[in-house]
Each structure stands twice: as C-alpha cells, then as structure tokens.
Amino acid sequence: MMAPRQRKANWLQKKQKPAEPTLIDQLSGPLKDFVNDFKEHGKTVLEKVREENPEKYLELSTKLAGLVVTLKPSQEGFHDAKSMEEIGLRLLKAVGMEEEDITPEMIEAAIAANNTFHARLEEIRNDGMMRAAGEPEGELN
C-alpha cells in the first residue's frame, strides 16, 4: 500500500512546465510600441508619404481602412446603450428596419420580445446549473 502513496507523492512533486506565452502576449509589447510611435509620428509621416509618393499613400490608406473595418465592427452593439428604448431601436435596426420606419410601439414590442428572450436564456442557464449541481432537472419548454 505504501508504493501507490509514494508514486502519488512523486507525481505531485513534479514541476509543471510553465505555460508558454500566446502569440498575442508575445506581440503586445511591440504592438504597443508601434501604436505609441504612430500616435507621435504617424500624421507627419503620412503627410510626407502623400506629398512624395501618392501611389504609396493610396496603398497605405487602403490597407489602414481595411484594418479599421476589421477592428471596428459595423453593427452597433448593445453594451453602450443608454436605455431600454435604445436597445429596442437597435434590435429592430439589426433585423433590417430603417430607423425612420420604426415607431414607439415597435420599440416597446422589441423590448418585450427581448425581455422574454432574456428570461428564457436565464431559465436555460438555471437548469444547466441545477444539472451540474446534481439537482433534479427542471422542465425545458
């Protein structure tokens, strides 16, 4: 019986290999340096490129525009909405409605639909938590 304990103790004593930094972690320092440098000198350098080499300036502008689009999604999120009415408006716009066609009644209906949807998601979450805790399952409707 002593051997398994000793084996377990040896296993616990082994040093775990430290996790290697992710590519993002590795690049974060140099990227921060570049961003800081660009903040300080970017405008001046771009003006010089535009004057001396308009073709290169156009090429850089196209690449930067693509990067901005990639980094900043075109659809509005909900995290910065200031009211439930704004969330309702954004929900309706997200499904293709034009803002000028949206009425206050539609916004109220969108808020009610969102509240129903959110409540259902909470039911699913709670049921999953109960299952994970070993409690009897609730009914999923």
Residue 72 pLDDT level (bands cut at 50, 70, 90): low
pLDDT of residue 38: 84
Q: In this structure, is the dihedral angle defined by the CA atoms of residues 120, 123, 127 and 129, taken in order, positive or negative? A: positive
DSSP alpha helices (H): ranges in 53-103? 54-71, 84-94
Residue 78 pLDDT level (bands cut at 50, 70, 90): confident
- Supply the pTM of this predicted model: 0.43
Checking if the pLDDT of 4 tops 60, the result is no
Can you give the three-state secondary structure of 8-32, one letter per residue? HHHHHHCCCCCCCCCHHHHHHHHHH
Do 90 and 76 touch, CB atoms closer than 8 A?
Answer: yes
Average pLDDT, the chain: 80
* Structural domain spans, the chain: 36-73, 80-141
